[in-house]
Amino acid sequence: MSKGVYGAEAIEVLSDFFASAGMNATPVEGEPAFKLVLGGEHGLMPAMAGLLLERHQLITYVAAPSNCPEDRRAAVAEFVARANWGLPMGNFEIDLDDGSIRFKSSVDYENVGLTPELVRNVFAPAAFTMDRYLQGLLAVMFGNTDPAEIIEAIESDAADIVG
């Protein structure tokens, strides 16, 4: 395992992680962060990974490709609450004002330093989880799909019901 780093070296670890994974991550101007678009099994997902340098924290967000229409936000909030129940790492978030939905995962690397392994262990579950739930999320956002039924289908791996 690599030795962990802090400060500007942590930004380099994050940059190198994306480069070595073949991900086209763009630095966010003036911030210790990168943005990119992930191609998942169920669609494209905007993503961001950033460092809170003074707190020694890495936070990743993988977002839904579009915002939820206002009239479906209550149903999507139910979907988010049901999806979050029992998740071992990270959580879904919905902004009820603009309808944006994202999955957040983070780690505090104080006393251990940031390593490529920590970046992978934070970023990969966020990407995987958003992709796993994305098709159902979109069905709730843009249809009349019942949140409880779609979560049950996703979590039982009944892909034919989701699609």
State pLDDT tens for residues 43-94. Answer: 999 999 999 999 999 999 999 999 999 999 999 999 999 999 989 999 999 9
Q: 77-86, 116-125, 153-162 — which is least confidently predicted?
A: 153-162
What are the backbone angles phi and psi of residue 105, rounded to the nearest 5°? -140, 145
From the number of C-beta atoms within 10 Å of its C-beta (0-12, 13-18, 19+), residue 148 rates as exposed
Gap between the Cα atoms of 51 and 34, Å rounded: 9
pLDDT of residue 4: 87
**pTM score, two decimals?**
0.91
Nearest to 131 by CA among 48, 62, 59, 60: 62
pLDDT of residue 163: 43
Mean residue pLDDT of the chain comes to 93
